[in-house]
Amino acid sequence: MKSFALTFRRFFRDDGQYLLLLSPLLIFAVVVAIYPLFFSFRISLFDYRLTDPNQTQTFVGLKNYIRAFSDTVVLDSLKTTLIYVFGTVTLELVFGLGLALLLSAEVRIIRMLRSFLIMPMAIPPLVVGLVWKALYNADFGVIPFYMKALGLSVGHGPLAELKLAMLAVILIDLWQWTPLLMVIFLAGLKSLPTEPYEAAVVDGASRWQSFWFITLPLLKPTMLVALLLRTMQSFKVFDTIYATTAGGPGSATTVLNFHIYTVGMTFFDMGYAAALANILLVVIAVLSIIYIMVLERQQF
């Protein structure tokens, strides 16, 4: 106890300057991250409707969380979110790695190609959504036009058919974010040591074998970064859904984040929306921890 008090005092006497110098950053973090987090946790324990003229906040304990787990809309949207995340992340991982391997050579044309491929990332997701909505439109869109020309049935259009809508939104995400994974994997590939490959060639390994037994294992840390980044982003998807399907047709593409938006910004039910947002946060955090544990353990 005594030693603790001592370190505490010394910390403030000796390193007080550090704190002072750190204070702008600390204040910034508190204001933009920590305070909102605590506020959203606090508000999730209350019944608070933003449009209430008296702004009454009634304490209801965990009722909002209990309500969330018995709300079929929430459970359905959670399932939709998982499908979306699984679809986008696996496809992007595969295509990103493929593109990275394909375009890793340092040739002028390939360097140019790479910079062109990165362009979708520079467009705001909302704009991407609007552009694709126009492309997908069953009656005026380009994609259904060629589908019809090929003799395929378009139905209500890719975004309005129950079975196609999810695939259609996943494709948009794939188009926009595969380049990011390509860049990450390219960086990973460039930093790989060359010795193992030389040794493999000497031992008579085929190219496939050296990819499977050397490249992939060595890329694991890169893969972890890519997986984490995309999973988190994918869980939070909102803009593209908002601009293309608004969660439709029916509720086929209502991901959890879009449902939270409806509860918060249409019903103005802030307590419940905060509770749902916190559940999303916990889901992402838990998944991230699992990823890290699994991939760290397997390393070497």
Here the tokens at position 61 are 């304990």
Question: CB of 203: closest distance to another protein in angstroms?
Answer: 55
At 155, which amino acid appears? G
Q: Could you say whether residue 138 binds another protein (CB under 8 A)?
A: yes
Q: Under rule CB under 8 A, how many of the chain's residues touch another protein? A: 36
Question: CB of 51: closest distance to another protein in angstroms?
Answer: 6
Measured from the CB atom, the residue of 156 and 236 that comes closer to another protein is: 156
- Give Cβ neighbours of residue 124 (< 8 Å, ≥ 6 apart): 239
Burial class (CB in 10 A: 0-12, 13-18, 19+), 85: buried
At 172, which amino acid appears? I
Q: Could you say whether residue 245 binds another protein (CB under 8 A)?
A: yes
Exactly one of 12, 39, 86, 268 binds another protein (CB under 8 A); that residue is: 268
Region near another protein per CB under 8 A, out of 2-10, 107-115, 134-142, 224-232: 134-142
Q: Could you say whether residue 151 binds another protein (CB under 8 A)?
A: no
Region near another protein per CB under 8 A, out of 149-157, 177-185, 189-197, 224-232: 149-157
Measured from the CB atom, the residue of 245 and 257 that comes closer to another protein is: 245
Binding residues for another protein restricted to 35-94, rule: CB under 8 A: 49-53, 55, 71, 73
Q: Could you say whether residue 154 binds another protein (CB under 8 A)?
A: yes
Binding residues for another protein restricted to 155-194, rule: CB under 8 A: 155-157, 159-162
Task: Return d(Cα 235, Cα 241) in angstroms, integer.
Answer: 12
Task: Return d(Cα 266, Cα 259) in angstroms, integer.
Answer: 10
Which of 162, 92, 83, 159 has its CA nearest to residue 120? Answer: 92
Backbone angles phi, psi at 246, to 5 degrees: 50, 35
Task: Return d(Cα 230, Cα 286) in angstroms, integer.
Answer: 15
Measured from the CB atom, the residue of 103 and 276 that comes closer to another protein is: 276
CB 172 within 8 A of CB 129: yes
Question: CB of 252: closest distance to another protein in angstroms?
Answer: 7
Exactly one of 12, 18, 35, 267 binds another protein (CB under 8 A); that residue is: 267
Which of 214, 257, 216, 191 has its CA nearest to residue 93? Answer: 216
Q: What share of the chain is helix, strand, coil (3-state, %, to 5)?
A: 75, 5, 25
CB 43 within 8 A of CB 274: yes
Measured from the CB atom, the residue of 160 and 260 that comes closer to another protein is: 160
Measured from the CB atom, the residue of 245 and 278 that comes closer to another protein is: 245
- Binding residues (CB under 8 A) for another protein: these are 49-53, 55, 71, 73, 137-140, 144, 154-157, 159-162, 245-252, 254, 262, 265-269
